[in-house]
Each structure stands twice: as structure tokens, then as C-alpha cells.
A and B are shown apart, each in its own frame.
Chain A
Amino acid sequence: MHVLILHASPKKKGGASRFFAGLFSLFLPGTRKKTVSINSRQDFQRALELFPGMDVVCFFVPLYVDGLPSHVMEFLSQAEKYCKNHSCRFRLYAVSNNGFVEGKQNRPALHMLQAWCERAGITWGGGIGIGGGVMLRVLGTVYPILIGIILLQMAVSFFSTGIVPSGLWRSFAIQIFTWLFLNSGVLFCMARLSSAIRREQVLTDQFTRVMIPSFLFIPIANIFMILSSLFQGRFLFALLKREK
């Protein structure tokens, strides 16, 4: 089975869509995968030329202003023409993520891709909407660092004393389980998506989120934004100004 993983983050580096594309490729062992980015117009033709040889295309998109980003709209318009003029027989699956906590806010983006399938003559396979995508991407960077530090401490302890203290094992287990818990919805939905792809089935759209209640998500996300602005050399109050 030939699978094309397309991710559409406009960012040159990082981006939640790229992170989820990388994570999902782990769910597709034994398939012939190719991962391509379409973060600018220059990438479009290269991606389109891969379409005819594919059985499945998995499209990872970010949600921008309640819908698909403008460069994705441009890509879809070109892709519709391409699919009508070439022999494209793939099924399209999609994973859309947004910065808000509710995965259901991605529903219009998934519906737009479904509408594209109808116009392009492509089979729609279904999709996943992920809420708190930015937070999950940041956690995907923070947790490996934390776990790496603990592993380093374990190694130092083992080589200096010959034993690894139980407290370090406990910390290691807590970090692993916390990451798994926060990502449990995403991992479960990705497993279902992977199963649907392998069985050539249509997946009913699934919606999931970072496993944090909304009343905690808002203050945590706000603190993250304030800290991010400090890294940019700005205090938050300077960012509250209005332009005339």
C-alpha cells in the first residue's frame, strides 16, 4: 500500500501539523510511506505528481480562521484540476488541528476536504479533528527533554553507585504516563484512522483534544502566550495596544 503523508503547515520549521504527521507515520508500519510538505506554492507541483501512484493520501492541515488556510485552498484548486486530468484513485483521509481546546472546531475544515473530494472525484475516507494541537506539539517537545534528563540522571547514578534509585524510576514512569494520558485521545483516534486505512474503510469523522479540562486549558494557554511574548522581547501589556 502506497501512502502519501501531506502536511500543510505554512511554518518553515515546527508546526503542529508536521508533528502529528510524524506521529501518525509511526502507526503505518509495513506501508510504503512518503512524506511531503506543501508549505508554499513551490511545493505544489511536486506533491501533485505523486498523486497517481498513491492508494491513500493523508492530509495534515492546521485550522486557520475557522477553515483551511489560504495556501491549502490554492493547492486544492490546483489538485482538483490535476485529479480530473490524471488517473488518481487514492482515498483521502485528513487530520486537522487547531489551537483551541475543542476538536469539533475542526469540523468545517474536514467538511471542506470532503466537499473537495466530491468535486475532484476522489473517495473521502474521513478524518480526525484535534483540539489543543499547539499545546500537544509543545508537550511533544517538552516531554522528551524531561524524559531525557531523567534518563541521564539514571545513567549517572548507575555508573557512579551501581544502582538506580527508585525515585528516578518513579519520575520516569510518571512522565511517560502523563504524556500518554494527555495524548491518549489523539493516539486512540490515530489507531482507528490507521485501522480504517489498512481495511480500506471509511472512518466517521472523529474529534479529540488534549486531555486537559477547558477551565485549566485557558489559563495554561494564556501563560504560554505571555511567556512566548517575553521570549520575543515583549511584555504582554505592550501587545494589548490597538492600532488606529
Chain B
Amino acid sequence: MKVIIHDLGEGITFSAGKPDKDSVVVHANNQYSPCRGCFKCWLKNAGFCIMKDSLQHIGACIGQSDPLIIISRCCYGGYSSPVKAILDRAIGSSLPLFTWRGGQTHHISRYPRRKLLRVYFYGECTKFEQETAKEIVERNRLNLDYEKVEMIFLENIEQLQEAGLCTF
């Protein structure tokens, strides 16, 4: 299942690749609560959040996404707040138990290993912020348990359109 998370706004449609009936598009519009850090999705529910909003089952959605495509404004070398809220709410895609992966401790994945995580960062981004973003996405790959990661930096949303990735 292809999952696309983006913060592009209501009037913009992400259009990379052929339309697929299994595709899920998650619009990061901030119409949901941020993670409270209660760990109930690990310790009480089997992978789903206790907050009953549109992200209650986002852990299962991301846990089964292949590829997972994230389009986010680059903010200080990380994801924008609305995109990050989605990722924070999705920690139920892993188990509360720890393991050793890539030379560091990580959580055991609840779902089988997936192939591709692709991240598009757009907006003004310094070299230092790009390096930080690269480190974060590589760590995301390890934590979310993907085999491969692809990262693309674009200066603005118009470049997404020029690359045929979205339509206004």
C-alpha cells in the first residue's frame, strides 16, 4: 500500500506515479491532536492511539506503507509541525520492546520490513539544515524499518509541480 503524507495545502494534489486504488493520501492539515506521550498505543492498545480522531489508526497505516512518501516543508532541518505530528502519532507501528539494529538500540517493528521510504523536503534550507534532515531521515529509515531511503530537496512548491509531482 502506497501512503503519501503531505503538507501542501488543500488546493494542491500530489500526483507522482500512477493513481492506485490502494494509495492512501494523508493531508497534514493540523486538524488532529499532537502526541501526548502517554505510550498507551504501546502499553494498552495494540498499536492504535487512545485519541479518537483522524490519526487514531495511523500507526497501522504507516506500518503497512510501501512506499511511504513524505512531502514536507523543511523546518530547521526537520519536518513541518503538521507532518511531524502524524509521525509522532504513528509510533504504534513499532512494538514497545527494544532491539539492536544498525549498531544502536531501536524498537522492534510491529510489521514486516518494507522497501522504500521517500522524502521530499521543500522550502529554503541551509546546508546545515540539509545535513540535519539527512541524518533524521536515515534514522527514520532505521526506526520505521525500511530497506532503502530516497531524499529530494526542492527550493519551493513550484519545483514539485515542475517535476510533475503535484498539480495546483
Residues of A within 8 A of B (CB): 9-12, 15, 62, 64-71, 73-74, 76-77, 100-102, 105, 107-108, 111-116, 118-119, 214, 217-218, 221-222, 225, 228-229, 231-234, 238-244
27 A-B pairs in the complex with CB atoms less than 8 angstroms apart? A10-B37, A64-B35, A65-B88, A65-B91, A66-B136, A67-B79, A70-B84, A71-B85, A73-B75, A101-B105, A105-B104, A108-B139, A115-B132, A116-B76, A119-B76, A217-B98, A225-B43, A225-B96, A225-B98, A229-B42, A229-B96, A231-B43, A232-B43, A233-B44, A240-B46, A243-B48, A244-B60
**Cross-chain contact B84 with A229 (CB below 8 angstroms):** no
Other A-B pairs, 9, CB within 8 Å; known A71-B34, A102-B105: A11-B38, A64-B84, A70-B35, A107-B135, A111-B135, A115-B128, A118-B126, A218-B105, A243-B63
In the complex, whether B6 has a CB less than 8 A from a CB of chain A is: no
**Cross-chain contact A115 with B126 (CB below 8 angstroms):** yes
In the complex, whether B67 has a CB less than 8 A from a CB of chain A is: no
In the complex, whether B143 has a CB less than 8 A from a CB of chain A is: yes
Top 10 A-B pairs ranked by shortest CB distance?
A: A243-B60, A70-B85, A73-B81, A241-B46, A66-B139, A70-B84, A225-B96, A115-B76, A74-B81, A111-B132
Closest chain B residue to A120 by CB distance?
Answer: B76
In the complex, what's the smallest C-beta–C-beta distance from B137 to chain A, in angstroms?
8
In the complex, whether B21 has a CB less than 8 A from a CB of chain A is: no
| Interfacial chain B residues near A62, Cβ < 8 Å | 37
**Cross-chain contact A243 with B57 (CB below 8 angstroms):** yes
**Cross-chain contact B97 with A108 (CB below 8 angstroms):** no
**Cross-chain contact B46 with A65 (CB below 8 angstroms):** no
A229 to B88, CA, bound (A): 20
| Pick from A71, A115, A214, A239: contact of B46, CB under 8 Å | A239
| Pick from A101, A111, A242: contact of B60, CB under 8 Å | A242
Among B65-85, those with CB < 8 Å from A are: 75-82, 84-85
Q: Chain A at the B interface: mostly helix, strand, loop or mixed?
A: helix
Residues of B within 8 A of A (CB): 34-40, 42-44, 46-48, 57, 59-60, 63, 75-82, 84-85, 87-88, 90-91, 95-100, 104-106, 110-111, 126, 128-129, 131-132, 135-136, 139-140, 143
In the complex, what's the smallest C-beta–C-beta distance from B158 to chain A, in angstroms?
22
A134 to B13, CA, bound (A): 41
**Cross-chain contact B111 with A242 (CB below 8 angstroms):** yes
| Pick from A11, A77, A228: contact of B43, CB under 8 Å | A228
**Cross-chain contact B60 with A108 (CB below 8 angstroms):** no
**Cross-chain contact B34 with A105 (CB below 8 angstroms):** no
| Interfacial chain B residues near A244, Cβ < 8 Å | 60
Q: A112-B76, A232-B40 are in contact. Are A65 and B84 (CB under 8 A)?
A: yes
In the complex, what's the smallest C-beta–C-beta distance from B31 to chain A, in angstroms?
13
A107 to B136, CA, bound (A): 9
| Pick from B43, B84, B99: contact of A73, CB under 8 Å | B84
Q: A70-B88, A100-B105, A229-B96 are in contact. Are A105 and B139 (CB under 8 A)?
A: yes
